[in-house]
């Protein structure tokens, strides 16, 4: 409240207060949510695709999650299905760590504080 009041006393309008007080205050939360949501970038909604698979065709509805399910659980090919799931998890982890490193380069805290500089 003091920052909004000080900005209003200095003559800042509603949009200036939003740009210079509100947004810098919520940037850490925005960065954290962006980083954490990058981990689920490869997930596309398994349930919806499985339910609509017959309507669009098996080849059109094939994504990583459905491939793992149909080849691993239904066909019993546990090795390739586990490998695909593991690679998907590794890519998600790499995306999270890369985005966190990028946040540190831009001067934000990210998921964890980088004390070893």
Confidence at residue 66, expressed as pLDDT on a 0 to 100 scale = 87
End-to-end CA, the chain: 34
Closest CA to 42 of 72, 69, 63: 63
Confidence at residue 116, expressed as pLDDT on a 0 to 100 scale = 63
Q: Which two tokens stand for residue 94?
A: 């790499």
Q: Is residue 58 part of a domain?
A: yes
Is the pLDDT at 98 greater than 70, yes or no? yes
**Mean of pLDDT values over 85-107:** 91
Q: Is residue 41 part of a domain?
A: yes
Q: Is residue 10 part of a domain?
A: no
Is the pLDDT at 101 greater than 70, yes or no? yes
Q: Is residue 4 part of a domain?
A: no
The neighbour count for residue 115, using CB atoms within 10 Å, is 5
Is the pLDDT at 47 greater than 90, yes or no? no
The parent domain of residue 52 ranges over 31-105
Q: Is residue 115 part of a domain?
A: no
Q: Which two tokens stand for residue 88?
A: 């998907």
Q: Counting Cβ atoms within 10 Å, is residue 35 exposed (0-12), middle (13-18) or buried (19+)?
A: buried
Confidence at residue 80, expressed as pLDDT on a 0 to 100 scale = 94
**Reported confidence tier of residue 94, pLDDT bands at 50, 70, 90:** very high
Q: Is residue 79 part of a domain?
A: yes
**Reported confidence tier of residue 117, pLDDT bands at 50, 70, 90:** low
Chain segment 5-27, per-residue pLDDT in tens: 898 888 888 898 889 889 988 98
Tally of structural domains, the chain? 1
Q: Are the C-beta atoms of residues 31 and 103 closer than 8 Å to each other?
A: yes
Q: Is residue 92 part of a domain?
A: yes
Q: What share of the chain in percent tops pLDDT 70?
A: 97
**Per-position DSSP letters for 42-81, written without gaps between them:** T---HHHHHHHHHHH-TTTT--HHHHHIIIIIIS--HHHH
């Amino acid at each position: 409240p003091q920052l909004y009041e000080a900005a209003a006393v200095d003559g800042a309008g509603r949009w200036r207060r939003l740009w210079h007080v509100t947004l810098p205050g919520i940037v850490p939360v925005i960065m954290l949510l962006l980083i954490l949501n990058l981990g689920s970038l490869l997930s596309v909604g398994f349930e919806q695709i499985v339910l609509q698979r017959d309507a669009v065709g098996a080849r059109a509805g094939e994504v990583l999650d459905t491939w793992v399910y149909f080849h691993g659980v239904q066909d019993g090919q546990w090795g390739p299905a586990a490998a695909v799931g593991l690679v998907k998890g590794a890519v998600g982890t790499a995306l999270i760590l890369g985005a966190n490193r990028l946040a540190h380069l831009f001067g934000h805290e990210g998921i964890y504080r980088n004390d070893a500089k």
